[in-house]
Structures are given as C-alpha cells and as structure tokens.
C-alpha cells in the first residue's frame, strides 16, 4: 500500500480512483502547521529560528496520515505545484519524521497541474525530491511577512489609534491606491478643443476628418487650449477649399495574446464578467479540483496559480485540432504559437491556465456547471483556444487632406479600419483592450471610396470644448496589473491582499473602483513619513526578486533576512521616541487635501468655522482619527474624516448644525450634525437632547424634515396585537431593524420596513419568529456570512452572525468566534478547531470524550491570524526579551503569555 498526500479532500477521492486500490489518498486540508500569532514565533537573535504550531484539527489529520504511513511501502507528497504546495509537503514530511513513522520508506514529491487521469499517472511515473530552495524561499517569505506585521502593527497601535495592521505587501498595495487618490485631488483640469470637418466625396459619401496641422505645425491631441484659438481655426476651415493629398491603405495583422496566467485571468474576469479577484479564484479552484460530468469527476482546467504563459505540447496539438473542428482550417496557423514567460522565477513558471481538454467546449459542459462556473470556464476556453488561432487581418486606411483658405493652410486626417479576416477574434475579444482605447483611436469603421487628388465638399465644421480628466481610480483589475508591473507581491497573493485591504476597511469599493478610506490614508501617510523605505515600490519589488533568487538557489535565505532585519529593527527602535504630536504634525501636512478641504467661500480651511479663532487639526481618539478645534473644551467642534475624501465632508454642510425644521409634538428644533462617529439627527439642545445616528446607507444630503422626524421618533407604535392586546413597536437597534412585542424581538429585513410595516405584516413576522423558537432577538437561523465548505463527515460549515456575535455552524454545533476575529477571515482550519472544541466530531470518533482537554489548544488555533501580507494582531517584545523567553521555554510548550492585540491596545491607550 502506498500513501498519497494531497491538499484538498475534494480531489482526494478522484485521485484515489485514478490510482487504484494499491493507493490510499489522504488530504492535509492545506497547511498543517503555522507560526503562532504571538510574539517570539520568529527569533532574529537565534538566527531566525521559527517556532511552528500544529492546531488541534491538524493534529488529528496528521495522526490519521501517520497511522496510514506506518503500514505503507511508500509516501508520495502530491500537494499543489507552487511554493505553498512545496512548503506543505515539507511540513508534512517533517512532522512524519518527528513521529518516527518514515523509517526507510520511499518518500517522493509528485506534482500535476491538472486533475485528470493522464496528468496524475504521468506525475506518479516521474517523482522527484522536495525542492529545498523553493522551501527556503517560502521560509524567507513567511519570516519577512511575520517580522514586518508583528513589529510594525504595534507601532501603528501606539502612534495611530484605530489603525489595524501593516504588512509587507499589503501596505505597498494600499499606498498605490492612496497615491492615486492624491493625484486626483491635486489634478488641475486644463481646457482643450477638438476640431473636425464633415466632408463629402464627389460621389456624395460623407466622412469625418480631424484637424491635425495648422500654422505650419503639427497639432497634438490637446494643442488647442482656448476658445479664441478654436474659433479662429474653425473660421479658417469654414472658408477653406478641400482636396485629398494622399490615400494609403496598409494591411495590418493583430496577433492573439497568450493563455491566462493568474493575474491576467483575474483582470479579464473583472473586465469581461464582473468577477472580483477572490470570486475568480474561488470559482477557478472548483473547476480545477473537479466537476461531476456524467458520473465522472474530472478537473476542467489546469492549476490556476501560475506565472507561466506556455501550454504543454500535447495541449497545443489538441487546441489546433479543435480549431479546425470548431472554426475551420483557415483559422489554424501554419505553425503552433509559443509564448515566453515574464516570470522571473523559472521554478514557479508552470503551464498557463487552460482547459484540460479543448474538446470539452463551453456548450458541452454548461449543463454540469453553475452560472459562475460556466462563465469563467467559457472565458478560459476561449482565451486558450484563441492563443493558437490565426492572426486577425485588417486594412487600415489613412487619408491626408489639405484645407486652403487664401494664404492660410491646414491639414486634416481621416482614418478607418476594416476587418478582412477575424482570425482569433472569432473566438475571443478582450474587453480590457477595447476599453483602453483612447478617444484618438478613431479606427471604428470603413471609409468610403476616396481618391488622391480629388476635391471634397465641406458639409460642416465642428469645434468641441473638452477638459482633461484626472487619472481614474484603480479597479481590482487595474491594481493587480499595476502590482504585477512593479513586481509587488506575486499573482497568487493578489486576491488575498485585496481582501485584506477591504476587510481592514482601508479601502472601499464603489462602482467597482477602489477608494481609500480615511483609515487607509492615515496609515499610508504615517508609513511614508516614518517608514519610508518599507513602502517604496522599488524596495518591495527588490525583496520579491531576492525571494525568486532564493528559489533558484542563488541566495542564502537567512542572509537575506539578516540584511533586512538589521535596518528594519533599527527603524522600529527609532519610533519609540516618536511623540504623537510629531505624528499629527506630519499627517496634517501630508493629508492636507483630506483634512483641510477647500471651502467654497475661499476662507482658510484650517480655521474653525464654529468659533472663528481656533485652528483645526487631526486628533487621535480611542476609535481613530478625527478633526477637532484647538480651542477645546471651549469649542467642541469635531468632524469625522470622510471615507471618500475631505471635500465630501465639507460639502455635506455638517461643519455646523443644519436646521431641518421642528418636531410638531415637542416644538423642538431638529438639526443634522456631524460628530466623530458620523452624522446624526438631534432634537433640541443640551445634554438631554435626543440623538439618533443615520442608519447605514442614509446620506446626509438626502435627509429632509420628514426623514429626520421619522428617525428621531423611533421606536414607533405599529398597533396592538389582537391576541395579547399589547403594543407592537418598530425600531432600530444594535443588530438592525426590529419589532418588539411583549418583551420579545423579531428582526426586520430592511430599515425602510421600520417606517412602513403595517399591523398585519408585523403579526406575521412575530408569528414566524415564534415558530423558529428561542434564539434571541428573533434572529431565527441567521443567513450564512461565509461558506467554508464541507465537513469531512458531511454537511456544510458556515460562519454566521448571532445575538452574541459571529459563530461557526456545522449541523447542530455552534461555536462562537474568539473576540476580535474577523468573520470573513475565518479559515476551514480554524473553523474545524472550534467545532472540535464544542464536541462536533463524527460519532465514530473515539476521541470525542477528550475534546475538553484540547480546549486551550483549539481556541488558540482558532484565534490565530495569518501573519503574512495580512498580519495584524500581536504585540512586539524586544528581541532581547523574546530571546530570554525562548531560552526559558522547555522543549514542550509552556502556556503562552497573554500578548494579544486587545491587551496591547489597552496598555497603549
């Protein structure tokens, strides 16, 4: 019996069927151990020794694997074909050696980039050893991410309350978004004019020509800068005689692009089908791991984390055959196309993302896929087959025209393009390329017959005013493209990096554009001022290059860490003497457009508009930064930083109370105000005045007297219940809109329901709540916030939000998440640990009774976060203390000291 270890249980069964009864395929469920999310997991003073931890769920899985290995003849490590996959195999083998179950057994590493029978059997026939340089690169990356996150994040907590984390790649990606926002704020629009003439040939055909030359000089796109100049040139053309100077028609070929890499797939999926990076990778993972097609589970695409752009020779031949069958012989080029990879690290330049079988057309497999899977598979299939198709053939015609008005002359140009043979465009058109065309690209159709030397008639001369626009905000796709251009991070980590920025509320998504939140801009400004080197694009890209060289065996990974740590630790130490006032002074200057937006009346934006004498400045509170007056407490003006820029905050009119009318029941004035926690409605004045924050989604500009009155008078009476005779009321609470009746709560779906729900509907909602039984505030069974996948014993594992906070649910087991854990960041591994702690094992598990003994380990495992580009929760001790603590610790782990983020915040505050 041979044991094969893969990452995912989803593909273990399929691979076992391919290999037969002589093999037992087991899943590691991803990483089996990790660096504990606490200080001292990486010890720079002990030559970067790394202390790994196996959580309770992984301990059980490793026990099952070890038991199987004991009676086996050979062990095949078949985790994913990338750096992380290599690291998982290394971790598994190291643990098996420590359990002393390997002995003299054959141990080999096998990799396959598709879950098909041929790919799996070919890999098993060509095993290799673990790639040590690749593992070293993983260790270096892991240590770097840990050291940056676990040393830089505490500095942020102490000097910039409200900031949550910093990371080696995360912070640089955030800087890109923030730098673009600064460009937009500082952009000065410039006027320019376009002039064109609608002309007619002797045969009566009309076409449009643009002015490109005047006064003896060539005009660039924005050369005409004012209306006076535009008017003069329009007058010249209105009175001119037109003749054709030259007509040039040139054949042009357009070649297809290579098949998808990870980053190009994410970009194309965003532009063509509207998928975010995370959604793209989730769907691609399912297509890779396997889909049940007519009773057979088979992987439909090759591995989706790759920098490579080439396809295997057999795949190219299959694509060429499919081209002939699907499109015809003319669409197949004479020779196969080969593409060169841009990846710097050849060891990670795997095959491109492509269909495992080009004969499985999108139409043939659509019935087996859900809507998202079908759309992404079609995109991959079309791009893959287009990469081997014939070039598109076009004819580009350029007509040069002279306009003569007395002694004045001008030149115009008309350009047209027509597709003579669509070639690969018959299969795939990248919407990004179409969207990227500038307004000067006017090759949008065929020109009529135009001959050199003939005269043209003028129908009309058009002049249009335009203004230059600021650079657009990044979308997920364009940010990924920019990160790849700069060499920041790696394509396999882009989705996780973007998710982290969103989860930390450093950026927000609006109409598919990334807008930096005020939190994100504060963090970036702080790092740029006090840790400049570590958010520089070149520095981060240089580190990535060094990691690639480690993978290639060209650099020693510990020497790279030593060089990094020496400078980084010195800069961390320098911030100990940094005063908060120094930080605020630097941020006031760096973020002046955000903190002090220009005012319409031209007054000084740094002078308080309430008292007229105080200076406005950033202030730091327990919950983050806000703008306040220097005359506090005499002047208590405060303003929250806008999520979308300071100008919006000023424009909202909340620098002083906005009167909305009076409450007819009390006669008190209703006002719209802004505090450090956002806009709110207030009735009356003084400490006893009633206040109500605007619900999520309500904008200050949309608040009128009617809305303010409805909000301030909540809760409202809906009517008496016919059975109890007691009043039903509707209101807004901590958990959202609700109904209250006889001491019991029932949730409403929307905020609008609070104001509109009638008695009959309210009675029905309350009755439905009672049918579901107790569970607090009428929440019933909350909708899943996140679906983590299937439990090994069947049934879905989900993350939900309950009365007492978010929790993990499996079957009848509900396990509350530890305080501070982000529900969206929970992994399957962490969820399993919590479920085991609650006794949620299969009935056949003999160790069920021992679950309480594992409580501490499981809770600690579930509470840990990933200390890589998204590292954020831990406090830093000095290396000397860490070294002392490490020396005191025996081989068996002592209980960890409580050095959580919450404790650090309490101390620093």
What burial class does residue 736 get, using C-beta atoms within 10 Å of its C-beta: 0-12 exposed, 13-18 middle, 19+ buried?
middle
Q: What gap in Å lies between CA 60 and CA 791, rounded to an integer? A: 14
3-state secondary structure string across 253-268: EECCCCCECHHHHHHH
DSSP letter assigned to residue 849: G
| Distance (Å, whole) CA 155 – CA 586 | 16
* Cα–Cα distance measured from residue 349 to residue 343, given in angstroms and rounded to the nearest whole number: 6
Distance CA 687, CA 621 (A): 21
Dihedral Cα 843, 847, 849, 854, nearest 10 deg: -120
The two tokens of residue 7 are 């990452």
User: Is 806:834 a contact under the CB 8 Å cutoff?
Assistant: no
Write the DSSP symbol of residue 89. H
Q: Give me the sign of the Cα torsion angle 111, 559, 172, 33.
A: positive
Distance CA 281, CA 491 (A): 11
Residue 648 · residue 698 · CB < 8 Å: no
In degrees rounded to 5, what are phi and psi of residue 226?
-150, 160
Tell me phi and psi for residue 354, to 5 degrees: -150, 165
Give CA separation, 756 vs 153, 346, 701, 748, 832, in Å.
Answer: 46, 63, 22, 11, 42
Q: Which two tokens stand for residue 587?
A: 């941020």
Burial 780-811 (b: 16+ CB within 10 A, else e): eebeeeeebeebbeeeebbbbbbeeebbbbbe
Helix (H, G, I), strand (E, B) or coil at 4: strand
* Residue 524, CA distances (Å) to 481, 535, 588, 648, 751 in order: 21, 8, 13, 20, 35
For residue 758 the two structure tokens come to 């009638």
CA distances from 654 to 641, 657, 681, 687, 804 (A): 12, 6, 11, 20, 35
For residue 457 the two structure tokens come to 């008639």
Phi, psi of 92 (to 5 degrees): -60, -45
Contact predicate 768/760, CB 8 Å: no
Question: Residue 429 corresponds to which tokens in the numbers above?
Answer: 């058109």
Q: Is the dihedral of CA 830, 834, 837, 840 positive or negative?
A: negative
Q: What is the rounded end-to-end Cα distance, in angstroms, of the chain?
A: 60
Biggest CA–CA distance in the chain, Å, is 102
CA 70, CA 354: separation in Å to the nearest integer? 38
902 closest CA partner among 826, 819, 795: 819
Cα 15 to chain centroid distance, Å, stands at 32
SS3 state of residue 441: coil
The two tokens of residue 426 are 């018959």
And the tokens for 789? 């996948």
- The yes-or-no answer on residue 303 being catalytic is yes
Distance CA 398, CA 416 (A): 7
- Phi and psi at residue 385, in whole multiples of 5°? -75, -35
Residue 65 has a CB neighbour count (10 Å cut-off) of: 24
Active-site residue, from 146, 303, 428, 506: 303
Q: Give Cα 33 to chain centroid, integer Å.
A: 25
Which of the residues are catalytic? 303
């Amino acid at each position: 019996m041979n044991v094969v270890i893969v990452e995912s249980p989803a593909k273990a069964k399929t691979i076992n069927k391919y290999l037969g009864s002589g093999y037992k395929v087991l899943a590691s469920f991803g990483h089996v151990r990790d660096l504990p999310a606490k200080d001292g997991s990486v010890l720079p003073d002990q030559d970067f020794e790394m202390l790994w931890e196996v959580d309770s769920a992984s301990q059980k899985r490793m026990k099952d694997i070890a038991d199987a290995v004991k009676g086996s003849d050979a062990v095949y490590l078949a985790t994913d074909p990338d750096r992380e996959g290599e690291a998982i195999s290394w971790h598994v083998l190291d643990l098996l050696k420590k359990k002393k179950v390997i002995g003299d057994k054959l141990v080999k590493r096998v990799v396959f980039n598709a879950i098909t029978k041929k790919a799996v059997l070919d890999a098993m026939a060509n095993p290799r050893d673990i790639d040590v340089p690749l593992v070293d690169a993983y260790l270096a990356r892991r240590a770097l991410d840990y050291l940056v996150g676990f040393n830089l994040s505490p500095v942020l907590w102490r000097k910039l309350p409200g900031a949550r984390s910093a990371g080696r790649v995360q912070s640089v990606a955030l800087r890109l978004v923030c730098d673009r926002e600064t460009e937009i704020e500082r952009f000065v629009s410039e006027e320019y004019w376009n002039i064109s003439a609608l002309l007619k040939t002797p045969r009566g055909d009309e076409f449009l020509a643009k002015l490109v030359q005047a006064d003896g000089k060539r005009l660039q796109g924005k050369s005409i800068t004012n209306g006076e100049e535009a008017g003069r040139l329009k007058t010249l053309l209105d009175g001119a005689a037109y003749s054709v100077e030259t007509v040039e028609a040139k054949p042009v070929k357009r070649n297809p692009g290579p098949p998808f890499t990870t980053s190009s797939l994410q970009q194309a999926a965003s532009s063509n089908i509207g998928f975010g990076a995370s959604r793209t990778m989730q769907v691609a993972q399912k297509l890779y791991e396997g889909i049940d097609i007519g009773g057979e589970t088979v992987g439909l695409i090759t591995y989706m984390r790759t920098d490579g752009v080439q396809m295997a020779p057999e795949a190219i031949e299959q694509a060429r055959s499919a081209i002939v069958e699907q499109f015809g012989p003319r669409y197949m080029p004479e020779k196969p196309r080969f593409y060169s990879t841009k990846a710097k690290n050849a060891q990670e330049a795997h095959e491109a993302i492509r269909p495992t079988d080009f004969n499985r057309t999108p139409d043939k497999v659509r019935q087996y896929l859900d809507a998202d899977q079908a759309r992404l598979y079609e995109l991959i299939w079309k791009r893959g087959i287009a990469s081997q198709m014939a070039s598109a053939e076009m004819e580009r015609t350029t007509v040069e025209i002279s306009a003569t008005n007395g002694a004045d002359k001008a030149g115009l140009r008309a350009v047209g393009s027509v597709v003579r043979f669509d070639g690969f465009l018959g299969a795939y058109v990248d919407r990004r390329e179409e969207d990227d065309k500038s307004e000067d690209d006017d090759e949008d159709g065929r020109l009529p017959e135009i001959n050199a030397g003939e005269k043209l008639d003028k129908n009309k001369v058009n002049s249009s005013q335009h203004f230059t626009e600021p650079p657009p905000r990044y979308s997920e796709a364009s940010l990924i493209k920019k990160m790849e251009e700069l060499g920041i991070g790696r394509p396999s980590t882009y989705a996780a990096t973007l998710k982290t920025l969103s989860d930390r509320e450093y950026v927000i998504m609006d109409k598919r554009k990334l807008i930096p939140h005020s939190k994100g801009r504060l963090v970036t400004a702080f790092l740029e001022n006090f840790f400049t080197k570590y958010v520089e694009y070149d520095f981060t890209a240089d580190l990535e290059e060094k990691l690639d060289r480690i993978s290639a065996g060209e650099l020693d990974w510990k020497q790279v860490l030593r060089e990094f740590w020496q400078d980084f630790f010195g800069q961390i130490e320098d911030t100990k003497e940094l005063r908060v006032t120094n930080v605020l002074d630097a941020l006031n200057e760096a973020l002046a457009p955000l903190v002090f937006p220009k005012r319409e009346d031209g007054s000084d934006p740094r002078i308080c508009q309430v008292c007229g004498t105080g200076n406005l400045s950033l202030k730091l509170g327990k919950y983050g930064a806000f703008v306040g007056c220097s005359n506090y407490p005499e002047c208590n003006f405060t303003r929250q930083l806008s999520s979308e820029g300071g100008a919006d905050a000023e424009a909202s009119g909340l620098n002083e109370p906005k009167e909305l009318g009076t409450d007819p029941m009390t006669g008190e004035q209703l006002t719209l105000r802004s505090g450090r926690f956002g806009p709110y409605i207030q009735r009356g004045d003084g400490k006893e005045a009633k206040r109500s924050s605007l619900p999520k989604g309500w904008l200050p500009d949309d608040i009128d007297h009617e809305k303010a009155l409805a909000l301030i008078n909540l809760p409202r009476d809906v009517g008496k219940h016919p059975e109890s005779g007691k009043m039903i009321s509707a209101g807004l609470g901590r958990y959202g809109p609700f109904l209250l009746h006889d001491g019991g709560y029932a949730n409403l779906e929307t905020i609008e329901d609070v104001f509109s729900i009638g008695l009959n509907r309210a009675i029905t909602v309350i009755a439905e709540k009672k049918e579901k039984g107790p569970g607090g505030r009428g929440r019933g069974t909350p909708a899943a916030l996140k679906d983590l996948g299937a439990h090994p014993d069947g049934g879905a594992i989900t993350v939900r939000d309950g009365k007492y906070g978010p929790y993990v649910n499996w079957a009848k087991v509900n396990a509350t998440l530890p305080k501070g854990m982000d529900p969206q960041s929970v992994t399957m591994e962490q969820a399993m640990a919590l479920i085991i702690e609650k006794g949620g094992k299969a009935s056949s598990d003999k160790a069920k009774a021992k679950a309480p003994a594992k409580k501490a380990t499981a809770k600690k495992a579930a509470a840990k976060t990933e200390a890589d580009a998204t590292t954020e929760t831990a406090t830093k001790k000095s290396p000397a203390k860490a070294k002392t603590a490490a020396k005191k610790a025996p081989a068996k782990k002592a209980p960890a000291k409580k050095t959580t983020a919450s404790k650090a915040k309490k101390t620093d505050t």
